[in-house]
Amino acid sequence: MAEGAASTSVTSLHPNTSEPSVPIGEEHFCKLILYIEISNSRVRIWDVIILIPNFLFLLFLALRFNRARLKLRATSSPIFLTLYGLVIVNIVISVIRCIVSMTVNASAVVGGYVDKGLWITVRFFILAMELSVVIFGLACGHLDSQSSIRYVLLATSLISLAFTITQGVLEIVSPDEIFHVNSKDYYLFGHGGMLFWFVSSVVFTMVYLTILVLPWTRLRDRLALPTKRSFYIYIFFLVVLYLTQSIGSGLLNYSIGEGLCIVDVTTCVYFTLLTPLVYHTFLSEFFGISQPSIMFSYKAQVDDNMEDDTVSLPHQQSFSSLKTDSDYIYQNNSVYDSTQFDNGATPVNPLYAASLQSPDSITGYSIDSAQSLEVGAAGQGYQQHYTVQQQ
């Protein structure tokens, strides 16, 4: 009982002052929510707050998995498969971290190391995805090959690994006293300490802010910058997130309790909303709309000086409900097929022209619609379904 009373006196407020006896008192709501358990069940409210949105998003991905799989098989671009894989890995790792953290005793030595290791692992994967998406967006589709994507993933993984190793070493060797729970005598995960968190947040803020203002600088004429608004909304989200996190960690570094509330909000947003935002910004249009305008797709080049004496047949859509890459390109840009015919060329029977195409690239030709192919009199030849532009 004496030990319990002594422990209580350490964490309580002094009767004649409003200041806590520790820099950030354990009774402070923004610190209490990080470690308080539900009915002494080892299930912390903080883990539940992060688990619920991640689990709902994982359920959403599971329900749409078959559709996504068919869409990915119908495209030859590996970048969509890469992004989808990053999203899946991140959401699964996040859910696993929450579940495991609910089953271990974080106040024990081993349980505390396991909990911190899981946090660092999740941070590694999310940061790698965050950086990879930014590079893919800046490349504007020029990295749409397996080798280039592999190099990008390797580079972002090395950067994320260096970041998380530094964070992990600081977390174990020099844990931040602000995150010490006196009543249970253990440290919460402190993201490497407030100084490291502040410096890294400022660096990320400056990097993303530079990317955000590039279209308004003279470099826009020298660099091939992304044109889609959604990419800059994503960058703006990261700027606001890291800027707010810089303010919160800076305040907390000077033992100002309100800073802890700020970093709690930014942490929750980062670990629950960033992965769904990546999916919504870069993949939802590809998976959900039949004729999307995809950021990472190549665009067909249109010749400015197209000859007047040549004509082109329009690109045929696929029989399948799944659009191929060429369907996206031609539908979005209204560009004709590269096959050209001269004025003097012999007219081609539409039935013969249709037979030269693959079954998956023909629309409108079937047994039931055969009557739509009209054949004129023998002396007049076949009725032609294309027009010739006269000079």
Q: Which pLDDT score is estimated for 239?
A: 97
Q: Which pLDDT score is estimated for 290?
A: 55
112 pLDDT above the threshold of 90:
no
CA pair distance 348, 338, nearest whole angstrom: 17
72 pLDDT above the threshold of 60:
yes
- Domain locations in the chain as residue ranges: 23-288
Q: Cβ contacts of residue 303 below 8 Å, gap of 6+? A: none
Greater confidence, 168 or 343?
168
**Mean pLDDT across the chain:** 74
Output the six-digit token pair for 78: 């590996």
List alpha helices for 283-349, DSSP H: 284-288, 325-333
Q: Which pLDDT score is estimated for 14?
A: 40
Phi, psi of 176 (to 5 degrees): -75, 130
Q: Which pLDDT score is estimated for 119?
A: 95
Summarize the confidence of residues 129-138 as an average pLDDT: 91
Summarize the confidence of residues 236-247 as an average pLDDT: 96
Size of the chain, expressed as the number of residues it contains: 391
Distance, C-alpha 78 to centroid of its chain: 15
168 pLDDT above the threshold of 80:
yes
332 pLDDT above the threshold of 60:
no
Summarize the confidence of residues 227-248 as an average pLDDT: 93
Instruction: Tell me which of 32-41, 69-78, 279-288, 324-333 is least confident.
Output: 324-333
Distances from the Cα of 259 to the Cαs of 161, 198, 250, 254, 256, in angstroms? 27, 11, 7, 9, 6
Burial of residue 252 (number of CB atoms within 10 Å: 0-12, 13-18, 19+): buried
The single residue listed with the structure tokens 């979005």 is 332
The single residue listed with the structure tokens 């999740």 is 122
Summarize the confidence of residues 165-175 as an average pLDDT: 92
Q: Which pLDDT score is estimated for 280?
A: 92
Q: Which pLDDT score is estimated for 142?
A: 66
9 pLDDT above the threshold of 60:
no
Instruction: Tell me which of 54-58, 167-171, 296-300 is least confident.
Output: 296-300
Pick 23-288's CATH classification: 1.10.287, 1.25.40, 1.20.1070, 1.10.760.
Answer: 1.20.1070
Residue type, 343: N
22 pLDDT above the threshold of 50:
no
144 pLDDT above the threshold of 70:
no
- Percent of the chain scored above 90 by pLDDT? 37
Q: Which pLDDT score is estimated for 157?
A: 96
In contact, 363 and 323? CB cutoff 8 Å = no
In contact, 252 and 34? CB cutoff 8 Å = no
356 pLDDT above the threshold of 80:
no
Summarize the confidence of residues 328-349 as an average pLDDT: 43
Greater confidence, 139 or 131?
131
**Gyration radius of the chain's alpha carbons:** 29
Output the six-digit token pair for 176: 């931040």
Confidence of residue 111 (pLDDT cuts 50, 70, 90): confident
Confidence of residue 309 (pLDDT cuts 50, 70, 90): very low
Q: Cβ contacts of residue 309 below 8 Å, gap of 6+? A: 342, 343, 389, 391
| Among 261, 104, 253, residue whose Cα is nearest residue 186 | 104
Q: Which pLDDT score is estimated for 210?
A: 93
Instruction: Tell me which of 67-71, 97-101, 158-162 is least confident.
Output: 67-71
Output the six-digit token pair for 186: 């253990």
In contact, 254 and 260? CB cutoff 8 Å = no
| Among 274, 268, 271, 247, residue whose Cα is nearest residue 258 | 247
CA pair distance 351, 365, nearest whole angstrom: 9
| Among 111, 89, 87, 88, residue whose Cα is nearest residue 100 | 111
Confidence of residue 270 (pLDDT cuts 50, 70, 90): very high
Q: Cβ contacts of residue 352 below 8 Å, gap of 6+? A: none
Q: Which of 48-52, 79-83, 230-234 has the highest mean pLDDT?
A: 48-52
Q: Which pLDDT score is estimated for 288?
A: 74
| Among 40, 102, 31, 83, residue whose Cα is nearest residue 252 | 31
Q: Which residues pair with 44 in a beta bridge?
A: 37
List alpha helices for the chain, DSSP H: 2-11, 29-35, 45-63, 65-73, 78-103, 109-139, 146-173, 194-213, 229-253, 258-282, 284-288, 325-333, 350-355
Q: Which pLDDT score is estimated for 276?
A: 95
Summarize the confidence of residues 341-356 as an average pLDDT: 44
127 pLDDT above the threshold of 80:
yes
Summarize the confidence of residues 212-240 as an average pLDDT: 87
Which 3 state secondary structure label does DSSP give 151?
helix
